[in-house]
Amino acid sequence: MIFLLLILLAPLNLKAATIDLHLHMATDVALPLFFDGRPSEGPAQAQKHTEIFKNQISVKDLRAGNVRLVMATIYAFDVVSHLRGGYLKEIHRQIEAIEKWTEENSETAMIVRSPQDAEAVLSSNEYRLGLILAVEGTHGVTSQAAVDSLYDAGVRMITIAHMSKKSPWAGAADIRYVFFSNCLHKGKPNSKRNPIGLTELGKELLPYAVKKGILIDLAHSSDRTFRDVTAQMPNMPLLFSHEAARELTPCERTVDQAKLDYARKSGSMVGLSFDARRTGGTIADLLEHAKIMVRDGGYGVLALGTDFNGFPPRAQGLATTEGLAEVLSSLEQAGVTGPRQSAENFLNLWRRFLGYSAHIAAR
């Protein structure tokens, strides 16, 4: 009943638009002295697709691609967090930087904390950019109070595992990210699987976060974590924020048939990664991954998950957000039109997730 009410209350005047499920807005704060620049209306600083320590985001380019919603992803480096007062302080420092940036660009940008906020962005006749705060990794989120702190600060999505084989909440995919990565587009099959799934802490804090209304992202998670999460929270809409198709990139850090089947049945969404290691070095390679995701996950499954201002090398032609319009046009020409409507698809997912959240909270 709650789900039906949420759908019936949805407005009918939303503009078709795109969502990027994984984009970093405060990397200059996360990694001071090393990362140059921050998003602005002007051109991005990066010139080459291999330049990972220069700003790659221009709001002008997001506007050109009609990207109206982004998961403004926050990542706290362990060393930096240790030097600057701890993980949560570092997360809040980046949140404050994003809030300040939004205030400075208030004619265009706003923080989105609810589906109603997202509706305001998507129904505006003028271009608006809605930033949904997201946290990548749980290595400092070790109590209900920490979850409360993130939610109260506006965080609405959390990636429960990240790179470490055993994060506090769950196991991550067992791959090497640097120095001879063993997770490559059309590379040698990697059969290694991390046997760690949800930890005891994860089994406690996952449902707590869901009841609070925090969306769950399983990018980086081990296959065992995926199975544990979907067993504990069956049919819950999930996000896989920046992904490649395992059919082309045979390693654990990808979406396989089981995940795409689940996405189709539950109405989950997958963000197409621009990481050249996992989705290839060209836009044509990206299209191959997108076609598989839509074939197995359904029309509405696909969004973008660019990881701009993260640290992976991008495909040729995607040095910065300037390449977004070409990617979206290429997807349309290939018959993959879902990303153009992915913002509204995400809004529907968010509403269904909150209905799910309310249901389990009432049990």
User: What are the pLDDT digits (tens) for 200-234?
Assistant: 999 999 999 999 999 999 999 999 999 999 999 99
Question: Do residues 134 and 158 lie in contact, with contact meaning Cβ atoms separated by under 8 Å?
Answer: yes
Q: Up-side HSE of residue 153: CA atoms within 13 Å toward CB?
A: 25
Structure tokens at 188: 């040698």
Total structural domains within the chain:
1
What does the pLDDT read at residue 9?
47
CATH number at residue 255: 3.20.20.140
> Angle between the 342-361 and 115-123 helix axes, to the nearest 10 degrees?
160
Looking at residue 37, its pLDDT comes to 95
Could you tell me which residues are beta bridge partners of residue 58?
40
Kindly list the distances between the CA atom of residue 122 and the CA atoms of 66, 189, 218, 251, 289, in Å, as whole numbers in the listed order: 10, 41, 26, 36, 27
pLDDT at site 88: 94
Alpha-carbon distance values, 19 to 221, 252, 362 (Å): 22, 25, 31
pTM of the model: 0.95
pLDDT of residue 178: 72
CA distances from 76 to 135, 139, 226, 239, 312 (A): 9, 9, 23, 20, 16
Q: Is residue 23 part of a domain?
A: yes
Query: In this structure, are residues 342 and 66 in contact, taking their beta carbons and an 8 Å threshold?
Result: no
C-alpha distance from residue 201 to each of 13, 79, 170, 178 (Å): 42, 23, 8, 29
Does 161 score more than 50 pLDDT?
Answer: yes
Q: Is residue 71 part of a domain?
A: yes
3-state SS assignment for residue 111 = strand
Percent of the chain with pLDDT over 70: 96
**Is 12's pLDDT higher than 70?**
no
Which carries the bigger pLDDT value, residue 237 or residue 175?
A: 237
The predicted structure's pLDDT at residue 7:
46
Arithmetic mean of pLDDT, 190-204: 96
Q: Give the CA distances from residue 307 to residues 56, 218, 270, 361, in Å, rounded to whole numbers and listed in that order.
A: 10, 15, 13, 33
Domain interval for residue 212: 18-361
Q: Does 2 reside within a domain?
A: no
Which pLDDT does position 8 carry in this prediction? Answer: 43
Q: What is residue 166's predicted lDDT score, i.e. its pLDDT?
A: 81
Residue 8 lies in a domain: no
Q: Is residue 10 part of a domain?
A: no
- The answer as to whether 322 is a domain residue is yes
Mean pLDDT of the chain: 94
- How far apart CA 315 and CA 321 sit, in angstroms, is 12
- Summarised one tens digit per residue, pLDDT across range 103-133 is 999 999 999 999 999 999 999 999 999 999 9
Query: pLDDT tens digits for 275-330?
Result: 999 999 999 999 999 999 999 999 999 999 999 999 999 999 999 999 999 999 99
Any domain includes 12 = no
Q: Which of 74-78, 158-162, 261-265 has the lowest mean pLDDT?
A: 74-78
Q: Assess if residue 1 is contained within a domain.
A: no
